[in-house]
Amino acid sequence: MVSLSNLFLLALSATSASAYKAVAGHYGDYSVVTGFFKQDDPSTNATTFDHHDNLGLHENLTWPEFQQQVEDLNANAPEGTTYKVIYYGVCFHNVATTYYGKDAWKCYWCQVNGNGTVFWGPDGYLTEKGEQFARNNSKLIRSLIGEGFPLPQSMYVSPLSRCGDTLVLTWGDLLLEPGYIRPIVKEGLREVIGVETPDLRRSKTYLKERYPYFDFEHGFAEEDQLFSKTEGGMCIYSIAIVSPISQIGVNLVITPNHET
């Protein structure tokens, strides 16, 4: 579903465990709540679907009605269960994967920083296509505000700069000015940690300079403490994206992905 969607409703039965320590055990149940967005409708054609059509919200719902239903779900949820609306925001490493092919990428190119012309590591940037995608989303969201589109109550962002750039380009002139929301950078908000140089984050000093309106979670280290150069790198997307936000007392959160 995520490959089609920019918004989805997630049911969380979660614990307080850290996302990046979750590989060894069971840390909650997570499921997508269907029926609100066209993205989870089996009849939706992934090729022709356009999220610019009201972000995929079904025609029988308005944004205020959707927000009220999410609030009702949380009000009547069993103990330990919460519902969150997640906004799931083309980097150079994606282009390289297509150009060289998956086998060559995995065997060699993913472990170097570039090919001498294009650089995708460490921490590959958005391509022009990825930047334009974020700007288009910003225009779309602005057009929906008058229709009751619920603005986020908090923002959590990956430590990878392409994710931060997506957030800034999408929300910068809406919510990121001084006095508004300050996104929190969380170390564990990553799909994959290990082996591939695009997944090695930059230093905290660099990130603070690039994103002056961002805050950092407690204990965020200067250098990447999670990246591994071995095949033991952790594939933790599902848990990483929800565990850090599972106990937040708001319904709408923003966690742009870093693969766009």
Q: Read off the pTM.
A: 0.66
Give the pLDDT confidence score for residue 9 in this predicted structure.
54
* Residue 205: CB atoms within 10 Å: 10
Give the pLDDT confidence score for residue 126 in this predicted structure.
75
CA-based nearest residue to 204, from 221, 192, 229: 221
- What DSSP letter does each residue of 175-191 carry, written as one string? H-STTS---EE-TT--S
DSSP state of 154: E
Cα gap 54→90, rounded to integer Å: 22
Give the pLDDT confidence score for residue 260 in this predicted structure.
38
Give the pLDDT confidence score for residue 115 in this predicted structure.
47
Element (H, E) at 142: helix 128-145
In a 3-state reduction of DSSP, which class is residue 222? coil
Cα gap 90→57, rounded to integer Å: 24
| Tokens found for residue 40 | 């989870």
Give the pLDDT confidence score for residue 10 in this predicted structure.
53
Give the pLDDT confidence score for residue 141 in this predicted structure.
86
Query: Within the chain, how many helices (H) and strands (E) appear?
Result: 7, 9
Give the pLDDT confidence score for residue 221 in this predicted structure.
92
Per-residue pLDDT of the chain (260 residues; tens, 9 = 90+): 333 344 545 544 443 333 333 333 444 566 778 888 887 777 877 777 777 788 788 888 898 998 888 888 888 888 878 787 776 544 433 444 444 354 444 443 445 444 444 554 567 777 777 788 888 888 888 888 888 888 887 888 888 888 888 888 888 888 776 667 888 898 877 766 655 666 778 899 999 999 998 999 999 999 887 766 554 444 444 444 555 555 555 445 555 444 43
Angle at 161 between CA 175 and CA 100, to 5 degrees: 135
Residue at 175: amino acid letter = L
